[in-house]
Amino acid sequence: MLQIGDTIISFDVLREKFLCDLGACKGACCVEGDAGAPVEEDEVAKLEEVLPVIWEELTPAARAVIERQGVAYIDSEGDLVTSIVDDKDCVFARHDERGCCYCAIEKAYRAGRTDFYKPISCHLYPIRVSRYGSYTAVNYHRWEVCRAAIALGRKENLPVYKFLKEPLIRKFGEAWYEELEIAAEQIVVKLKIEN
């Protein structure tokens, strides 16, 4: 484990390889699982704010879920998560003509229609961030649907933390990320020597 400020970072974030392969997985992370994506409390207002911008792009089923329970709910583990349709699809998930899933919020952001990218947990995936009292844990999450991303990451030799540079800076700041890069280089070298 590596500590930067009040964050504890798993070595897996530094040594594991990852590069999303949307052509292979078709965006399964937005439609698989038993709950929605984790949402921070201040993000609920942002999700509600962006709704009028993306409302017509959402499926009728997603709109019905949002009208009934809102953009987020508390799941069975007590976590605040995005609302889902039919116990799987995120309400903000859409499919393009190739069958690939995309986020309606991210699409609106990229088109300059909103200043909210998407929930930070989605942007950070496959990293999961958890708060434990006085520190924040930064862990690499393994999921079968990301098999192709792991293979592509290994092929391109792209560590998780480099793949997720933009969202890590969004979450923790530029200075934090610079410290992570320096520590990662030293740790990876040390781990190679030990192995």
pLDDT at 33: 67
- pLDDT of 1 reads 82
Dump pLDDT digits (tens) for 105-125: 999 999 999 999 999 998 999
Nearest-angstrom CA–CA distance, 142 and 128: 10
pLDDT of residue 21: 83
How far apart are the C-alpha atoms of 184 and 159, rounded to whole Å? 10
pLDDT digits (tens, 9 = 90+) for 178-195: 999 998 888 765 655 454
d(CA 193, CA 195): 6
Q: What is the pLDDT of residues 27-67, one digit of tens each?
A: 777 777 667 889 999 999 999 999 999 999 999 999 999 99
Domain ranges of the chain: 1-18+126-195, 27-124
Q: Residue 185: its pLDDT value, please?
A: 84
Find the mean pLDDT for residues 143-159: 89
* CA-to-CA separations, 141 to 98, 138, 144, 150, in angstroms, rounded: 27, 10, 10, 12
| Residue among 150, 120, 107, 122 at smallest CA distance from 16 | 150
- pLDDT band, very low/low/confident/very high, at 168 (cuts 50, 70, 90): very high
